[in-house]
């Protein structure tokens, strides 16, 4: 689940970052569609982030996170419906998205502080990697309302790059550890069920096979 939401978060972040460049104009000539590519990821990125944090937080600390998740989901649904029915456009509802995101940032920081001492080492590492994203998003929102013409979202994108890089190495390391464990497991299994002198199955393997046959007698009715 964590890997799935990490992938969703990375994809949405990539689309959002791409929407702020001229590259998207080469593929999407319609201004309205480019706005959709910008604002939909903006609404969904915090949602996937909150879900990932919720996965790494104990149940007793999730109340605030659940509120944040519902707020973000409600904001996305309402804005999508208003845009589909041509009542409002995403651009005019951007302040509402920013207010929702700021509220969620406050909830996230409060949850992180409150649950920090009760987290495992791996969860602390994950939550620490998320801090640059939260801080970067907060700084970018402030810059946007101070000087819109020079807004690039660079702090948020830097935080995302840092987070994804650390998570990439963490996932690679986790897969490597699992690979080593699988090799060790196969080796121990061979040692447990094989006679070292003859290299044949031993009594323990025989007992397991007999039990398997007894539990599936219908499969052996021809013998």
State residue 87's pLDDT score: 84
Query: Which tokens in the block code for residue 145?
Result: 């309302």
Q: What is the per-residue pLDDT for 66?
A: 93
Residues in the chain: 223
Top-confidence residue, 192 or 148: 192
The pTM of this model reads: 0.71
Q: Is the pLDDT of residue 49 over 60?
A: yes
pLDDT of 201 reads 92
pLDDT of residue 149: 59
Looking from the CA of 63 toward its CB, the CA atoms found within 13 Å total: 3
Copy the structure tokens of residue 23.
Answer: 């590259």
pLDDT in tens, 106-144: 998 999 888 888 888 878 888 888 889 989 988 888 888
Residue 4 pLDDT: 85
As a whole-number percent, the residues of the chain with pLDDT over 90 amount to 17
Minimal CA–CA distance to 83: which of 44, 48, 39? 39
Contact 56, 126 (CB under 8 A): yes
- Give the pLDDT band of residue 73 (cuts 50, 70, 90): very high
The rounded distance, in Å, linking the Cα atoms of 211 and 194 is 18
Locate 172 and state its tokens. 């690679």
* Stretch among 75-84, 163-172, 189-198 having the lowest mean pLDDT: 163-172
Average pLDDT for residues 48-72, to the nearest whole number? 90
pLDDT score, position 168: 82
- Coil, helix or strand at residue 194: strand
* The pLDDT of residue 202 is above 90: yes
Q: What is the spatial distance between Cα 108 and Cα 114, in angstroms, rounded to a whole number?
A: 10
pLDDT at residue 150 above 60? no
Across 147-172, average pLDDT: 80
Q: Is 172 left (phi over 0), alpha (psi -120 to 50) or beta?
A: alpha
User: Which H or E element spans position 26?
Assistant: helix 23-27
Q: Which residue has the tokens 């969620």?
A: 104
CA neighbor of 101 nearest in space, from 63, 146, 139? 139
Kindly report, residue by residue over 31-41, the tens digit of the pLDDT: 777 777 778 88
Q: Which residue has 């920081």 as its token pair?
A: 109
Mean pLDDT, rounded, for 78-105: 87
Q: How far apart are CA 26 and CA 28, in angstroms?
A: 6
Q: Buried b vs exposed e over 68-79: b needs ≥16 C-beta within 10 Å?
A: bbebbeebbeeb
What confidence score (pLDDT) does residue 151 get?
58
What does the radius of gyration of the chain's CA atoms come to, in whole angstroms?
26
Interaxial angle between packed helices 154-193 and 203-215, expressed in degrees from 0 to 180 and rounded to the nearest 10? 100
């Amino acid at each position: 689940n964590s890997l799935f939401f990490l992938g969703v978060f990375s994809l949405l972040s990539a689309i959002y970052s791409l929407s702020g460049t001229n590259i998207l104009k080469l593929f999407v000539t319609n201004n309205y569609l480019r706005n959709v590519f910008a604002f939909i990821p903006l609404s969904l990125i915090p949602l996937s982030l909150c879900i990932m944090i919720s996965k790494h937080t104990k149940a007793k600390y999730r109340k605030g996170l659940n509120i944040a998740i519902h707020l973000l989901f409600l904001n996305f649904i309402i804005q999508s419906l208003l845009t589909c029915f041509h009542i409002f456009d995403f651009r005019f509802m951007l302040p509402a998205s920013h207010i929702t995101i700021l509220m969620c940032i406050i909830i996230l920081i409060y949850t992180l502080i409150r649950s920090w001492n009760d987290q495992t080492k791996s969860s602390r590492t994950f939550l620490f990697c998320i801090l640059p994203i939260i801080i970067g998003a907060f700084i970018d929102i402030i810059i946007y309302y101070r000087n819109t013409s020079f807004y690039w979202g660079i702090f948020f994108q830097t935080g995302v790059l840092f987070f994804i890089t650390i998570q990439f190495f963490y996932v690679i390391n986790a897969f490597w550890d699992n690979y080593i464990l699988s090799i060790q497991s196969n080796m121990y299994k061979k040692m447990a069920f094989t006679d070292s002198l003859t290299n044949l199955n031993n009594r323990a393997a025989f007992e397991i096979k007999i039990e398997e046959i007894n539990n599936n007698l219908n499969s052996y009715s021809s013998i």
